Amino acid sequence: MVRATDMEFFIDPSRCIGCNACVLACSECDTHKGQSMIQLDYVDRAVSTQTAPVICMHCDSPTCAEVCPADAIKRTADGVVQTARKPRCIACNNCVLACPFGVPKMNTGMNLMMKCDMCYDRTSVGGKPMCASVCPSQALFYGTREEIARLRPNSRAINSFQFGRQTIETKVNLLIPKAVPVTLIDVTSAMDQPPSTQGAEEDDLLMNLFIA
């Protein structure tokens, strides 16, 4: 018998087909009041239509909660970082700016930060998150490590991410090809570099733009 504690969340961006089923399903969750807590982002819109689902990674040491001056963001005993509590959230945007994964979003109409809470009303009692239950390509998968190992023999799950000198461990797993080594990218190394410029000869749109 599979216990709720054995279930884990896996993201495989390479399988995302951009159908938005996860986004729509999320908005239908009873506790979200019609608001979607997740989004689809383009990986590199200039060269590809490839999309990737963006859900909360549920960090073991959540930066969003650490920078919240009102103590509005709580982490459950089983590791789920919940959305901000309305009576406490002061809409300061600290969490929005601090999250290394860019997950929290401020709902300006409600003055409330809202983010994925892994459908805690469902997963805490053994159910699947709404998004994972409707994903046709299983880019979002909720199950055991044994299941994912059987279904994705060429993939491996990682849940440790490096941001500068900070290592972040997460409850949610990212699936990457086994044959691809993990490359550490220092996102702060380019901050002091001048912005790159692109000439007309390198841009198809500029090449076809004529000004009389």
Give the chain as a 3 state SS string: CCCHHHCEEEECHHHCCCCCHHHHHHHCCHHHCCCCCCEEEECCCCCCCCEEEECCCCECCCHHHHCCCCCCCCECCCCCECCCCCCCCCCCCHHHHHCCCCCCEEECCCCEEECCCCCHHHHCCCCCCHHHHHCCCCCEEEECHHHHHHHCCCEEEEEEEEECCEEEEEEEEEEEECCCCCCCCCCCCCCCCCCCCCCHHHCHHHHCCCCC
Condensed to tens digits (0 to 9), the pLDDT of residues 100-135 reads 999 999 999 899 999 999 999 899 888 999 999 999
Mean pLDDT of the 76-96 span: 94
pLDDT at 204 over 60: no
Count CA within 13 A, CB hemisphere, residue 137. 16
Spatial CB neighbours of 45, under 8 Å, sequence gap ≥ 6: none
Report the C-alpha gap between 165 and 202 in whole angstroms: 36
Into which CATH architecture does domain 4-177 fall? 2-Layer Sandwich (3.30)
Q: What is the pTM of this model?
A: 0.83
Q: Which is more confidently placed, 99 or 183?
A: 99
At 201 the pLDDT is 55
pLDDT at 59 over 80: yes
